[in-house]
Amino acid sequence: MKDKPLKAYQRAMSYYQNARKMLIVKGKLEHGRYRNTKPCKWACNNAFYGVLIALEQLLFQRGLLNHREMSKRILAEQIKKILKNTRDVELMDWYLDCYYLLHINGYSDGINHEVLLEVGFQSALSIIQLLAPRLAKEAI
């Protein structure tokens, strides 16, 4: 049980890195847009899922999330509600960037603009990296 938070962080980073790799390799960037939309959607979905994994672990450890088995959509809405009630404004801003740019626009609507997706991916990485010391600290 002691290394569970660290495993969650590693799993979240794995999803993020795989998504980034898919976007670069299969996205076919031309003139500021990814031309191949299917891998682009897949990458956005996986990057957002990595964020959910890290946040789920953190909120569960803090006692803010009661149960762990829920759909991704319900989990995303729960996390948004919980973060609105906390004082971690930076984390909330990054989460909203990920939610709207990666999940809603990137995965659901299929947005393919390089700059917008880059903001979403940077926010995802910021969340995962911000949570790394917290996850490791709470494992002790």
Across the range 110-123, mean pLDDT stands at 92
Give the confidence band of 123 by pLDDT, cuts at 50, 70, 90: very high
140 lies in a domain?
Answer: no
77 lies in a domain?
Answer: yes
Instruction: Report d(CA 114, CA 120) in Å as an integer.
Output: 10
pLDDT tens for residues 30-56?
999 999 989 999 999 999 999 998 888
Domain that holds residue 76: 4-135
Higher pLDDT, 55 or 25: 25
Place of tokens 């903001």: 119
pLDDT tens for residues 57-88?
877 777 777 766 667 777 888 888 888 787 77
Q: What is the mean pLDDT of the chain?
A: 84
Instruction: Report d(CA 95, CA 118) in Å as an integer.
Output: 14
CATH of residue 106's domain is 1.20.120.330
Using DSSP, state whether 30 is helix, strand or coil. strand
Structural domains of the chain, count: 1
CA dihedral (69, 75, 79, 81) positive or negative: negative
